[in-house]
Structure 1
Amino acid sequence: MFRNINEISDGAPYDLVVIGSGAAGMAAALFAAIEGRKVLLVERTEYVGGTSALSAATTWVPNSHHSRSVNPDDSRDKARKFLDGVVGNHSAPSMREAFLDSAPEAIAALEANSVVKFRPYATHPDYEQQFEGATMRGRALEPVPFDGRSLGPDLDKIRPPIPEFTIFGGMMVDRTDIGHLLAIRKSARSAAHAIKILAHYAGDRLRGRRGSRLVMGNALIGRFLASLNARRVEILIRTEVQDLVSENGTVTGAILKSGATTRRVAATNGVVLAAGGFNRHPQRRAELLPQGETYSPSAPGHTGAMQDIALRLGARFGEGNLDNAFWAPVSIRKRADGSTASFPHFVMDRSKPGTVCVDQTGRRFVNESVSYHLFGRAMFEHNKQVPCISCFIITDAVGLSKYGLGMVRMGTRDLTPYLADGYLMEGASIADLAARIGVPAASLETTIAAMNRYAASGVDPDFGRGTTAYHRVNGDASIGPNPTLGPISTAPYYAVRLYPGDIGAATGLVINEWAQVTRADGTAIPGLYACGNEANSIMGGTYPGPGITIGPAITFAYRAVRHAVGAAQARRAA
């Protein structure tokens, strides 16, 4: 339940204080409330949800009770081998073991004690299919859609989705919805589904409210919020943490400020940091991220301020990660209100037939069908030799109409606004498009000609596009012989400029297996925990599969609460 800081007395006692209201923070608050603890959840922005609310909220959890329904042959050993292969020595094996131990328990505990519900997607593969133990399904869970009307006015406190990921001015849709909408004239079942969700949204608009059928990240946060409200967890928004209170080396509370009001609150069992990491911290970005023009589509609350406080208490940042952030290519466009849209190109266009990505010389530099993280890495690596920031994704008239390109959705008839502001670039021929995007025409013509040959043969000898099951799933199954390759031959031709986008922090505070923040000597700071992107990723800056941030975030929130509650019980027994 949302509170005003003026309603809280100075020195108010809580069992647990949680900083940050994304999936990690909400999970920690809920797990503590399930244990009967008095909890305060603190959020510095005007919305709860953080970047989790903006995301698909896919949650990577091997061997959950859901996995068996779609992949009964999966096992803990297979998941361990997979992580060992992908992550290697970029993170401590003990941290991955802790995750594999507790992740299924965490999901089961949520579903047994709250309205937080997940479902497996029929086919949702691990990204790195070439490693032993990879699966095609069962590990990636997604939140079940949620009717936000049950939240009443609190619905408006959830961070809205990225506008460009909605349709009809604010209607949220997930992959299942998109499939039904595209098949509305082909299937009675799809027509019924589409009519149902369209009617729901029409009712919302008639009542003058935002779309209340929540999917993906908004569904997860909505379900968490409803569960926290049911357990009367106190939530403060627009509230900053000025400092943590430490007594004899143990964190025992926090000093909060909202407007002109300051309050000191006690945290008997400890403080959990879950404020999202350093992505909006100017100094940390300069220190930890590659130099060049990058954009962050993450939520604005990820200032790294809590990490600064923790560092003053003796905490340390992780080292040895493959990357310090998780990457995705993004395209940029000014919105009507003057804000900048950073649109992540996850899977909707790069892997589709009839597309190609080129550097500033008009040549390919990457397998376009790899994961968004590997695509971002490739941009930085290639840019060391050849200008590649920014690069371009290119298609033809058929590809644009059938699959869309970035913010230009499939089937868009009026391209005028996108062409007028330069987001979409058009050429009557390949040479004409090359001139418009500033690459050598001969190089681009050679690249397109090669792609057309590969589309006919089904084989990409240069980069191996379409050679793994993950590549092919994101293509178009109706196209052969390779579902990721198609001709680029129908004028006019189109391009959108791509930049690297950091979608989350991989490097953060070092924690132990129980999510305790640790010092340089490896000892824990009593009473201080971290989870989510506030903590150093157990994936070591690699990106093995979908949902590898939220899965561990929820799991280590669960382990943090288990430890905090257990430590409190031990103190009372002593």
Structure 2
Amino acid sequence: MDTAGCAAGEEDRGGSPRRAECDVLVIGSGAGGLSAAVAAAHLGLEVIVAEKAGTFGGTSAFSGGWLWIPNAPHAVAAGRGEDPETPKTYLRHILGNRYDEAMIDGYLRAAPRMLAFFETNTQVRFNPGSGVPDFHGDVPGAAQGWRSVVAAPYDGRQLGSLIDRLRPPIPETTFLGMGIASGVDMRMFLTAMRSPAAFAYVSRRLLKHLRDLALHRRSMQLVNGNALIARLLRSAADKGVTLWSGTAARELIRQGRRVTGAVLATGGGDVTVCARRGVVLAAGGFPHDPGRLHDLLPHVRAGTPHHSAAPETNSGDGLRLAESAGGRVSERMAHAAAYAPVSLVPRPDGSTGRFPHLVERGKPGIIAVTAEGRRFTDEGGPYHDYIRELIAATPPDRPVVSWLVCDRRFLRRYGLGAVKPAPVPFGRWLRNGYLSEGASVEDLARRCGIDPAGLKRTVETFNRHAAEGRDPEFHRGTTPYQRAQGDPDHTPNPCIAPIVDAPFYAVRVVPGSLGTFAGIETDAQARVLDASGQPVPGLYAAGNDMNSIMGGQYPSGGITLGPAMTYGFLAAEAIVADGAAQEEHDGRTQNAI
């Protein structure tokens, strides 16, 4: 919408402001949007964050809270810094001809600086991932650790009333609503019935959780992406950022080419927000935009639905807004979405949850098969590769679907999707159809709709080699990432065990994602670019609204949140620099007059 002005102060008949002013309007409240808001507020700007959903955090609040940042201050302080050319070598091999030198160089320089800024000036804190390997350990330049950091746990009571506006984790990924962090925390839960020390640890966590439920009606032991968003929200509130939830962006306001604000839809009617310095689009990409999913995901065009674990409010608003102002959405990604295997979880209220299978696939005693009963991938490999290889293994005229198959020993030790390990009962999952059970492998296959002879043959072949800890077909357990996903207590291979302990179990897994890669094209300072490659004045993008610098590939965990926070931070710096340049230009023009 073009407008000649963006004045403030006009009220509707009910007395509620129909117009508001700020320096920076941020649309979306994931890690990218909140990083931009906090950084801009720290730099002295007046900031409004508008979140479409009723809670803050977007997909970031569902995430593991990891950021991929080579040469992070934590690594350098521990003496684990590295030659910047080493991670570049790794990325060049993974990204191929989609390696953008300017964007990658800019990211690798700015990301450590971003971390230092947040840890010095805000409530945001990180712990180093000293033992977290890159996904593809057989590629030159891959690291076995120290390229990742994770949000430090946070006491939700520090949020005050904002805790009620924090998006909770996906319920099926929690235990009674309590988040479980990767690493030591998860290992304690998985070994609680086998280790007195782990049992004591889990008991303490549960007692704290029960207290939280009694006093606060939710967990206050925040971990993973929930802790990251909580820390960013606390920091935003401390710096005076105005936080609006239940507020969707309808259209941008422009004066000529320059974006000067937006019209926001609220429960009380539309609000026109004048943004003196700029608008940051950080609305979470397009994981629930049917039209764009159809256009950019081949399996959707072929008739297989896509089931993203991202919030359903992430429906492509930011991309449409950018296009309305002359921005462009990339169609050059190797893959337009950050794929992940997802199972559909029936909920008591009749809705369907989407469980992302990120952890148990790497444990010993599980395989993934197609409807023909054949394996198609290294089950414990990167989640993005699981779906990519499933799509490649599925004939074009058939739906893209797989099953994770295990035995009773595996189910009770590690769980399977939403099904928790012992001693948690699992009968309800059998009754609602989420979990299938069979007295034999063939019986399980018939119940699932898998070819019985094919599955029997696959399991027999797998077991014959698994007894020796080998997987000659897909080589599980041969890279640092695979072994890190396994069970260190299981030998000789932490990733492989035979499937022999009847009854047998399976969960149906379909193509899903953690978010999207294809997004708004920007420069290295997060400025939105038009069709000619020139910045659209006053418009910036971050998070999954911004085109992924990884070219549609998934080289390591944290390659979404790392750039999201970095480019949110850079957008704030660019807004200040662009404002200063505009003021200088206006001053010269006025003097000339």
Match of 2:434 in 1: 423
> Which shows bigger deviation, 451-460 or 145-154?
451-460
Match of 2:140 in 1: 132
Match of 2:337 in 1: 325
Match of 1:360 in 2: 371
Q: 1:462/1:384 Cα in 2 relative to 1: closer, same or farther (>3 Å)?
A: same
Match of 1:270 in 2: 278
Q: 1:504/1:173 Cα in 2 relative to 1: closer, same or farther (>3 Å)?
A: same
- Quick check: 1:495 aligned with 2:506? yes
Distance 2:191 2:38 in 1: 39
- Quick check: 1:341 aligned with 2:353? yes
TM-score normalised by length of structure 1: 0.95
Q: CA shift at 1:200, angstroms?
A: 2.3
In structure 2, which of residues 92, 101, 105 is the aligned counterpart of residue 84 of structure 1? Answer: 92
Match of 1:38 in 2: 46
* Structure 1 residues 14-413: aligned runs within 5 Å: 14-68=22-76, 72-167=80-175, 169-175=176-182, 176-183=184-191, 190=198, 193-289=201-297, 290-291=299-300, 292-347=304-359, 349-384=360-395, 387=398, 389-412=400-423
- Give secondary structure in 1 for the equivalent of 2:287: coil
Distance 2:264 2:515 in 1: 25
- Quick check: 1:445 aligned with 2:445? no
Q: CA shift at 1:343, angstroms?
A: 0.5
Q: State whether residues 33 and 233 of structure 1, in contact with CA within 8 Å, keep that contact through their aligned partners in structure 2.
A: yes
TM-score normalised by length of structure 2: 0.92
Q: State whether residues 91 and 99 of structure 2, in contact with CA within 8 Å, keep that contact through their aligned partners in structure 1.
A: no
> Which shows bigger deviation, 410-419 or 36-45?
410-419
Q: State whether residues 506 and 533 of structure 1, in contact with CA within 8 Å, keep that contact through their aligned partners in structure 2.
A: yes
Letter of the 2:509 counterpart:
L
* Structure 1 residues 392-541: aligned runs within 5 Å: 392-412=403-423, 414-541=425-552
Distance 2:507 2:200 in 1: 35
Q: 1:515/1:450 Cα in 2 relative to 1: closer, same or farther (>3 Å)?
A: same
Q: CA shift at 1:386, angstroms?
A: 8.2
Q: State whether residues 458 and 480 of structure 1, in contact with CA within 8 Å, keep that contact through their aligned partners in structure 2.
A: yes
Q: CA shift at 1:301, angstroms?
A: 2.1
Q: CA shift at 1:433, angstroms?
A: 1.4
Q: 1:35/1:413 Cα in 2 relative to 1: closer, same or farther (>3 Å)?
A: closer
Distance 2:79 2:134 in 1: 13
Distance 1:449 1:214 in 2: 43
Distance 2:495 2:77 in 1: 29
> Which shows bigger deviation, 311-320 or 108-117?
311-320
* Structure 1: stretches of 5+ with no match in the other structure: none
Percent sequence identity over aligned pairs: 38
Q: State whether residues 360 and 387 of structure 1, in contact with CA within 8 Å, keep that contact through their aligned partners in structure 2.
A: no
Letter of the 2:528 counterpart:
V
Distance 2:207 2:426 in 1: 28
> Which shows bigger deviation, 379-388 or 145-154?
379-388
Distance 2:191 2:505 in 1: 26
Distance 2:306 2:271 in 1: 37
Q: CA shift at 1:80, angstroms?
A: 1.2
Q: Write out the 4+ residue segments of structure 1 that deviate beyond 6 Å after TM superposition.
A: 4-8, 185-189
Distance 2:409 2:440 in 1: 14
Q: 1:183/1:402 Cα in 2 relative to 1: closer, same or farther (>3 Å)?
A: closer
Q: 1:85/1:71 Cα in 2 relative to 1: closer, same or farther (>3 Å)?
A: farther
Letter of the 2:217 counterpart:
R
**Superimposed CA distance per residue, residues 42-63 of structure 1 (whole angstroms, 9 cap, x where no aligned partner):** 1011000001001111111111
Taking only aligned residues, the RMSD between alpha carbons, in angstroms, comes to 2.0
* Structure 2: stretches of 5+ with no match in the other structure: 1-10, 586-593
